Chain A
Amino acid sequence: MEELIIAGKKYKSRLILGTGKYKDFKQTADAIHKAEVDIVTVAVRRVNITNTKEPMLVDFLDPKKITYLPNTAGCFNSEEALRTLRLARDAGGWNLVKLEVLADKETLYPNMLETLVALKVLKKEKFEVMVYCSDDPLLCKQLEDLGAAAIMPLGSLIGSGQGIQNKLNISIIKKNAKVPVIVDAGIGCASDASIAMELGCDGVLINTAVAEAKDPILMAEAMKFAVVAGRKSFLAGRMLKKNIANPSSPVNGLIS
């Protein structure tokens, strides 16, 4: 499959996995490896000072082999998000980050006004920013104009598993965009991931659908295939929909 290019860097996989909500770091790493992803999202949090011997994510997933995409999950204004990403850049030493400024705890819907403010500052500070956003085509265009490295509209609410609720908007966003469009949030099962890819999206970002599956490792593998299948289906170009039947077998030479 052709490679996904984000901020000038090539990635083989079009699937990005989150690393939250797994039973433990071993399961996280097993799922990530099974899905053969190149990018994982990570959060930035305080070290537990009372037990600094407890295992760390970096001991299970090597940031030299897999791209860590630090997020700003849990930030409700641009200041918190900026502080988090500056720390993340220092901890990791790379510029590619995921900006996610939330509006409220009930919906975890993106606060687009604060997101735009933060994006402007991050661009000035030479970050490459993948932006979690609403599925509003105009706002998505604005993000691109401000220099977003990728646009990441929600399919449905974070962690809801409700799939892609507004396919039309997602396709408009994709049609307008010159940077990659990655559906972030809402994917519930493999077919949802395929639908995102069939809409022409460049990738999908999934966490809960894998981490909360009965068998996360198997679901990770399913998502890998779903993304590949959806992408190939998109590239192949679907048949035209018809309102009447059209036999697949020749009508000539029937025994009668």
Chain B
Amino acid sequence: MIQIQLNGKPYKIDEKMSVSDLLSKLSLTEKKVAVEINEEILPRENYNKKILSVKDKVEIVHFIGGG
């Protein structure tokens, strides 16, 4: 297991996990979210390729109600 920062909190994942793996582990639909890793946007075509490393700061966002 390795530890990453997920939406501001420590989070443990298996080694060699891709962003796609993380999203499916969280039951999140790829199309409905956007992902930032270490303050850089990860284009969705790279969700499969991008393997998460120790201490990566991952942000997963979506649209909510707002004015």
The proximity string for B residues 38-67 relative to A, scoring 1 for CB distances below 8 Å and 0 otherwise, is: 010101100000000000000111111111
Cross-chain contact of A45 among B36, B62, B67 (Cβ < 8 A):
B62
Tell whether A87 pairs with B36 under 8 Å between CB atoms, given A47-B28, A52-B27: yes
A87 with B67: CB separation less than 8 A: no
A49-B26, A52-B27, A86-B41 known; A91+B62 contact, CB < 8 A: yes
Residue ID in chain A nearest B28 by CB atoms: A52
Is B34 an interface position by the 8 A CB rule? yes
Asked if B41 and A19 sit within 8 Å, CB to CB, the answer is no
Q: Does A5 contact B (CB under 8 A)?
A: no
The closest CB in chain A to the CB of B40 belongs to A86
Whole-angstrom distance between the Cβ of B20 and the nearest chain A Cβ: 15
Contact at B63–A58, with CB atoms within 8 Å? yes
Find out whether the CB atom of A71 lies under 8 angstroms from the CB atom of B66. Answer: yes
Q: Is the CB of B33 within 8 A of A21?
A: no
Of B36, B59, B62, B67, which is within 8 A of A73 by CB?
B67
CB pair A42–B6 under 8 Å, yes or no, is: no
CB distance from A67 to the nearest CB of B (A): 12
Measured between alpha carbons, how far is A58 from B29 in the docked complex, in Å? Answer: 11
Once the chains are docked, how many angstroms separate the CA of A91 from the CA of B63?
A: 8
Known pairs A52-B26, A56-B32; A43 contacts B41 (CB<8 A): no
Q: Which A residues lie within 8 Å of B66 (CB)? A: 18-20, 41-43, 71, 73, 207
Contact A44 B7 (CB under 8 A): no
| A 83-94 to B, binary, CB cutoff 8 A, 1 in contact else 0 | 100111011100
Query: Which A residues, 4 to 32, have Cβ-Cβ distances below 8 Å to chain B?
Result: 18-22, 25, 28
| A117 part of interface (Cβ distance < 8 Å) | no
CB-based contact B65/A43 at 8 Å: yes
Given contacts A73-B67, A83-B39, are A56 and B60 in contact (CB under 8 A)? no
Complex contacts, B32 vs chain A, CB 8 Å? 56, 58, 91
Q: Contact: A46 with B34, CB < 8 Å? A: no
CA–CA, A30 and B38, complex, Å:
38
CA distance A87 to B41 in the complex (A): 7
- Cα-based distance from A240 to B41 in the complex (angstroms): 56
- The 5 A-B residue pairs whose C-beta atoms are closest, nearest first, are A43-B66, A18-B67, A207-B67, A91-B34, A19-B65
Q: B residues touching A (Cβ–Cβ < 8 Å)?
A: 6-9, 11, 26-28, 32-36, 39, 41, 43-44, 59-67
A residues neighboring B (CB under 8 Å): 18-22, 25, 28, 41-47, 49, 52-53, 56-58, 63, 68, 70-71, 73, 83, 86-88, 90-92, 158-159, 205, 207-208
What are 8 inter-chain pairs, A to B, with CB distance below 8 A?
A57-B64, A58-B63, A87-B59, A87-B61, A88-B34, A90-B43, A92-B63, A159-B67
